[in-house]
Amino acid sequence: MREQFRPYTMVVGPFTDATASSITLVDSGGNDFACNYISVEASGQSITDTFVVSIIPPDLSQPAYAPTAAAALGVDTSAYVGGAGKISGGYPVELVLSDRDRSSIIKIQKAKAGTSPVDDAFFFVTYGQVWTGNALRDQERPRGS
């Protein structure tokens, strides 16, 4: 079995403060796109700053994590659906979700507010739907001449 994926990409930012930003994931037609794969990578000069990516799956009625600036990365924010990463030199935060947990909205939040443009961060979001391909249909693809 092979997995297939049509990736969509967006760049958001600059993020200058620690306020959570809600980002709607859309397809090429501008419609909300419920994804089962989401990857967020940060770019900035701050080598100590971190960020959080979270989703609220449709079947989670009372999320334990409601992103606000005050509750950014405290000890009382466990049990949220998401991940954390470093702004500079870190790895992407990848969310590989089940079909029932697909999401068309993510929240991104820096751990703390910056004090200069050096602290600004941009985020690269790659998202889409991953599915198992049909190997029998490979024979139907054009081969070129």
Q: Tens digits of per-residue pLDDT, 6-29? A: 899 999 988 877 777 889 999 989
Q: How many residues belong to the chain?
A: 145
What digits encode the pLDDT tens for the residues 86-110? 887 778 899 999 888 889 999 888 8
CA distance 52 to 64: 14
pTM score of the predicted model: 0.77
Angstrom distances, CA of residue 2 to CA of 38, 137, 138, 142: 19, 12, 11, 19
Q: Which of 57-66, 95-104, 109-118 has the highest mean pLDDT?
A: 95-104
Least confident of 22-26, 49-53, 74-78, 133-137: 74-78
Higher-confidence residue: 23 or 56? Answer: 23
Distance of CA 121 to the CA centre of its chain: 15
Asked if the bond preceding 14 is cis, omega within 30° of 0, the reply is: yes
Q: How confident is the model at residue 133 (pLDDT cuts 50, 70, 90)?
A: confident
Fold of 3-130: Jelly Rolls (2.60.120)
